[in-house]
């Protein structure tokens, strides 16, 4: 695939029982996603619901914040220059002519030799230019003795000092943080336009699967992927509905895909995308639309792919059933699509750490490796159990290292970038004894290294 908008790419034909003849380059697939997947339209939400949403408009302050000059401390408002000679031994004496309280207009004004008692947030009285903190005063009710000099402007919060009228306070594309909601309120926004949350459907297939959470029984295993996919998609801004587990039955899967296509912005289908006789998914996608890529130069998750179905060309991500491959397919293929739709394009939502390898990390030329690693005493340790079915390997891992397709790996001691699953150190590590490993030592050094990613 050389043009990002080419109709389709990757190996043609049915790989069942024959395997993949050629595999799509992961970097090219990432370019296709970036060029093809659009951010969804916006919707209006109340600011109390806006945290974690992506702004779809610039927010401009219509008025200055704060809207009036106000006291920044409890104390007395006065003319600062009249305190310049004040000290503990020779206090400056003022006549207290009234009070200014928060939320009310201030009637008294300050003239030479006068002070007004003020509370934090109350309007600054006319004529005053400084506030002396109550701790630097004594008062007998009528008189205030000031025993510290306060420069003009001290402890006064000026109109517009926080936000100037007309300023863009938050730009379109911003992932709103809790403190941003406070800003929205201060500039008078009660609702904001945010990118609509993508509606994702996690469609899980496999004759051997029991619904997530049920105990395994005679040759059947609980579905591990739906809950994992739904959590990942929710983290990336989607609302995810789980459908299944469905049997490996062509008509059932096709009907479920068609039904999901009626309401979803994106379908993430687990299982049935490989090269076994029961792997119907690519064929169904080809019938309902077209397969864009199937079979990636990626380990694990080589059976992953993307299709577009229906007149709206709804993206469908084919994710291998093996849970580790499924996670890798999410990180490389599905996550970038969810985040683009949600208005959160850009780097992975993982913390990047550059650390030395404790031993060599090898890879085959021609494919991208998603190598799970542990961080132990500041060094990166490749996990030896790397089979795609060993989900505990990713629970035990602190993160992953991406080995690009044109690289055979790295020697011991080389600095590599680890994409950490956790945002910060875990208070309680996963039970390493149960997984046969010693506890990981987490590092917190940050860096901004760039590594190819989806």
Applying CB under 6 A, which residues contact ligand AMP?
A: 204, 206, 208-209, 221, 223-225, 270-272, 274, 276, 320-323, 389
- Tell me the pairing of strands 199-205 and 266-270: parallel
Q: How far is the CB of 16 from ligand AMP (least distance, A)?
A: 11
For residue 335, the minimal CB distance to ligand AMP (Å) is: 18
DSSP string of 174-219, one letter each residue: -B--HHHHHHHHHTT-SEEEEEPPPEEEEEEE-TTEE-TTSPPBTT
- Compare residues 15 and 335 and give the one whose CB is closer to ligand AMP: 15
Residue 237's binding partner out of ligand AMP, Mg ion, none, with CB under 5 to 8 Å set by partner kind: none
> Residue 274 Cβ, how far from ligand AMP at the closest point, in Å?
4
DSSP output for 369-426: EEEEEEEETTEEEE-S---TT-THHHHH-SEEEEE-TT--EE-TT-EEEEEESSSS--
Q: How many helices (H) and strands (E) does the chain have?
A: 8, 28
Q: Report the C-alpha gap between 214 and 234 in whole angstroms.
A: 23
- DSSP character at residue 74: S
Q: In the complex with ligand AMP, which residue's Cβ is closer, 269 or 416?
A: 269
CB of 384 to ligand AMP, least distance (A): 21
Minimum CB separation from ligand AMP for residue 11, in Å?
A: 17
Judged by CB under 5 A, does residue 382 bind Mg ion?
no
3-class DSSP assignment, residue 442: coil
> Which one among 271, 300, 307, 335 touches Mg ion, defined by CB under 5 A?
271
Residue with Cβ nearer Mg ion (123 or 271): 271
| Separation CA 78–CA 153 (nearest Å) | 10
Measured from the CB atom, the residue of 206 and 295 that comes closer to Mg ion is 206
Nearest to 356 by CA among 443, 437, 423, 454: 443
Which listed option, ligand AMP, Mg ion, none, makes contact with residue 223 (CB within 5 to 8 Å by class)? ligand AMP
Residue 80 touching Mg ion (CB under 5 A): no
Write down the least CB distance from residue 276 to Mg ion, Å: 7
Contact of residue 282 among ligand AMP, Mg ion, none (CB under 5-8 Å per partner type): none
For the packed helices 281-288 and 250-261, what is the interaxial angle rounded to 10 degrees?
Answer: 50
Smallest distance from the beta carbon of 270 to Mg ion, in angstroms? 9
The residue at minimum Cβ distance from ligand AMP is 321
User: Binding marks (x or -) toward Mg ion, 348..367, rule CB under 5 A?
Assistant: --------------------
Least separation in angstroms between CB 231 and ligand AMP: 14
- Per partner kind, with CB cut-offs from 5 to 8 A, the member of Mg ion, ligand AMP, none near residue 200 is none
Task: Give the span between the Cα atoms of 304 and 293, in whole angstroms.
Answer: 8
Give the end-to-end CA distance of the chain in Å, rounded to a whole number: 16
> Site for Mg ion (CB under 5 A): how many residues?
3
Kindly report the number of other CB atoms within 10 A of residue 96's CB atom: 19
C-alpha distances in Å from residue 435, one per residue of 67, 153, 383: 59, 63, 12
Q: Quote the CA–CA distance of 318 and 203 in Å, as a whole number.
A: 10
Indicate which of Mg ion, ligand AMP, none lies near residue 22 (CB less than 5 to 8 Å, by partner kind): none
Site string for Mg ion, 293-332 (x = CB under 5 A): ----------------------------x-----------
> Contact positions toward Mg ion, by CB under 5 A?
206, 271, 321
């Amino acid at each position: 695939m050389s043009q990002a908008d080419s109709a389709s790419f990757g190996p043609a034909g049915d790989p069942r029982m024959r395997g993949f003849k050629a595999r799509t380059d992961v970097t090219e697939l990432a370019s296709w996603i970036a060029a093809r997947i659009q951010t969804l339209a916006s919707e209006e939400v109340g600011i109390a619901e806006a945290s974690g949403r992506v702004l779809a408009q610039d927010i401009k302050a219509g008025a200055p914040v704060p809207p009036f000059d106000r006291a920044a401390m409890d104390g007395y408002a006065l003319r600062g220059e009249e305190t310049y000679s004040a000290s503990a031994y020779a206090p400056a004496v003022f006549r207290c002519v009234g009070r200014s309280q928060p939320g009310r207009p201030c009637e008294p004004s300050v003239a030479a030799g006068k002070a007004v008692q003020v509370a934090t947030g109350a309007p600054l009285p006319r004529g005053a230019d400084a506030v002396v903190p109550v701790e630097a005063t004594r008062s007998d009710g009528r008189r205030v003795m000031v025993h510290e000099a306060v420069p003009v402007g001290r402890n006064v919060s000026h109109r517009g000092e926080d936000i100037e009228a007309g300023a863009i306070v938050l730009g379109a594309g911003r992932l709103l943080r809790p403190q941003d909601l406070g800003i929205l309120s201060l500039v008078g926004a009660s609702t904001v336009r945010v990118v609509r949350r993508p509606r994702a459907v996690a469609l899980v297939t496999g004759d051997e699967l029991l619904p997530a959470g049920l105990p395994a029984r005679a040759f059947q295993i609980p579905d591990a992927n739906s809950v994992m996919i739904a959590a990942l998609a929710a983290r990336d801004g989607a609302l995810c509905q789980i459908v299944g587990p469905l049997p490996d039955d062509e008509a059932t899967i096709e009907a479920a895909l068609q039904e999901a296509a009626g309401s979803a912005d994106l379908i993430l289908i687990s299982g049935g995308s490989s090269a076994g006789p029961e792997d119907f998914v690519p064929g169904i996608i080809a019938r309902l639309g077209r397969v864009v890529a199937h079979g990636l130069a990626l380990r694990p998750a080589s059976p992953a792919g993307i299709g577009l179905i229906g007149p709206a060309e709804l993206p469908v991500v084919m994710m291998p059933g093996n849970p580790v491959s499924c996670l890798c397919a999410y990180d490389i293929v599905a996550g970038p699509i969810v985040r683009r739709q949600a208005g959160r394009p850009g780097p992975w939502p993982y913390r990047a750490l550059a650390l030395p390898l404790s031993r060599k990390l090898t890879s085959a030329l021609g494919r991208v490796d998603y190598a799970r690693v542990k961080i132990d005493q500041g060094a990166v340790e490749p996990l030896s159990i790397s089979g795609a079915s060993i989900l505990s390997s990713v629970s035990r891992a602190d993160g992953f290292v991406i080995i690009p397709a044109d690289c055979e790996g790295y020697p011991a001691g080389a600095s590599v970038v680890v994409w950490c699953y956790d945002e910060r150190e875990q208070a309680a590590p996963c039970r390493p004894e149960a997984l046969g490993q010693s506890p990981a030592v987490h590092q917190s050094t940050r860096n901004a290294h760039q590594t190819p990613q989806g």
